Amino acid sequence: MRISVQEADFDAGAEANAFTAGLTGVGAVVTFTGIVRDNGGTLAAMEIEHYPGMTERAIGAMVDEATQRWALADALVIHRHGRLEANAPIMMVATASAHRADAFAAAEFLMDYLKSRAPFWKKEIGADGAEWVAAKDEDEAALGRW
Amino acid sequence: MQRIDVLYFAWVRERIGLPRERVETDAATVAGLVAELAAREERYALAFADLASLRVALDQELADFDAPLEGVREVAFFPPMTGG
């Protein structure tokens, strides 16, 4: 299990290959990569603030819960912070399991929890200024299905 | 009297104008600490005007506003999280 909270860019393809290499008894790898949406060209960049210390703890607790609920051979979470340009990768989740159902479910669970329970805050920077992104009710509601 | 590190993130940090500070308090709960901070100055009052739009963590674990402060070393206030 690897968790990386980082400022640096990452290569989602290289990360997926490195994650998959060396796994045994695995029949399914699911990966999700989140990208900075340019909002039709109006968004120049995103600034992501986080709570060092709590961020790693909170993600670690989510990964622990995912490994208890599903038969995972391995899991990976990468989440960036700092200033990110439009179209840059923000975050990535990868899960590996013997069968796809567990890998898909665990990846969705991790995504839902990362959106609402990991201490990150996004600020959108556009031509007209900067604005904090408001949390969405549906993101909070999504936790209810787990 | 208890000494606590209080941290602020995102628009709470911007509204109050600093990322963290050390606070001496007799408050028994988070809500008591909020009341003390909000009474300080207008910028604190504004930041804490609507508790429904705030979240709190005690020693880096999410908590409720009625949670006790006894033994807590670090309190963080922030808006609902927007990761992913």
Q: What is the mean pLDDT of residues B54-61?
A: 98
Q: What is the CATH number of the domain that holds B58?
A: 3.10.20.30
CA gap A88, A83 in Å, rounded: 10
List of chain A residues whose C-beta atoms are within 8 Å of the C-beta of residue B9:
49, 51, 119, 121
CB contact under 8 A, A114 and B79: no
Interface of B with A in 13-72 (CB under 8 A): 13, 57, 60-62
pTM of the shown model:
0.95
CB of A33 closer than 8 Å to CB of A80: no
CB of A93 closer than 8 Å to CB of A62: no
Per-residue pLDDT of B30-44, as tens digits, reads: 999 999 999 999 999
CA gap A52, B19 in Å, rounded: 12
B47, part of any domain: yes
B83, part of any domain: no
Model confidence at B59, pLDDT cuts 50, 70, 90, reads very high
Q: What is the mean pLDDT of residues B3-27?
A: 97
Domain range for residue B63? Answer: 2-78
Question: Can you give the pLDDT at residue B44?
Answer: 98
Question: How many structural domains comprise chain B?
Answer: 1
> What burial class does residue B3 get, using C-beta atoms within 10 Å of its C-beta: 0-12 exposed, 13-18 middle, 19+ buried?
exposed
The domains found in chain A, sorted by start residue, are: 2-145 (3.90.1170.40)
For residue B53, give the 3-state DSSP assignment. helix
Mean residue pLDDT across chain B: 97
B84, part of any domain: no
- Looking at the DSSP bridge assignments, the partners of residue A28 are A97
The interface predicted TM-score (ipTM) is 0.95
